[in-house]
Amino acid sequence: MTKALDAIFFDIDDTLFSTTVFADKARRAAVDAMTRAGLQADRNAAMRELDDVIAEFSSNYGGHFDKVLDRLGPESFEGHNRAVIVAAGVVAYHATKWRELKVYDDVYEVLQWLATTGLVRGIISAGITIKQAEKLIRLEVLEFLTPSAVFFTDQVGFSKPNPKLYRRVLQRLKLQPARCLYVGDNPTHDIDPCNQEGWSTIRIRRSGRHSQEEGKTPAKHEIRDFFELRKILQDSYGIR
């Protein structure tokens, strides 16, 4: 027996693309560029300090590379202008964005297919609004989404895992939770609150940072890629 479905929503990070792999590439590129610009420190030590800064100050902190130099000490940039070393890291990080930020091939194909259906196709993503919006543009998937169904937590006023976030989204779109599906990778921030609100849920497990974690409640479905998602939509929800 198929279940009626009106809308499908997606997380962005480690769901549409590998945030974990991208971040590692971008950070390594940044440290290498800083070294070429005059950073005098062991590469592994600099990477460890950068990872620690991000863990302590969050990925949204604006002074990661400055903080790394503070931790490594003035001898790490002796004879050089530290601003140039920091700028080298920033430029390399953003250059990696242009080069590496892309959705998985299966994600692109299935989102393209979903755009031919009558479903509302949305995003519910946590993070700084402009950063998350930039990701959607760079990932080149905006054309496959319903414009009114893109939500960033900073704009909504509730963040994950607050179930009020998911409730507010459906209020704005006049949708019923039992007829909506959420696809995400984080069991505690994506799956548990949606389950609590009566949504159907799909957990994607590739190799992201949350792939080995477990939440309080299981997702209705688990997938390894979006081809499996398409099959579930066809077989369980009658989407053609």
CA atoms within 13 A on the CB side of 159: 5
Which helix (H) or strand (E) segment is 50 a member of?
A: helix 43-57
Percent of the chain scoring above 90 in pLDDT: 85
How confident is the model at residue 164, as a pLDDT?
A: 97
CB 3 within 8 A of CB 236: yes
Q: What is the pLDDT of residues 201-225, one digit of tens each?
A: 999 998 778 878 999 999 999 999 9
- Residue 73 three-state SS: coil
CB 130 within 8 A of CB 161: no
CB 43 within 8 A of CB 130: no
Q: What is the CATH number of domain 21-100?
A: 1.10.150.520
Residues 6+ apart with CB under 8 A from 19: 12, 13, 208, 209
pLDDT above 70: residue 1: no
Q: What is the CATH number of domain 7-17+102-237?
A: 3.40.50.1000
How confident is the model at residue 61, as a pLDDT?
A: 84
Q: What is the pLDDT of residues 136-160, one digit of tens each?
A: 999 999 999 999 999 999 999 999 9
Query: 223 forms bridges with which residues in the sheet?
Result: 204
Domain ranges (residues) in the chain: 7-17+102-237, 21-100
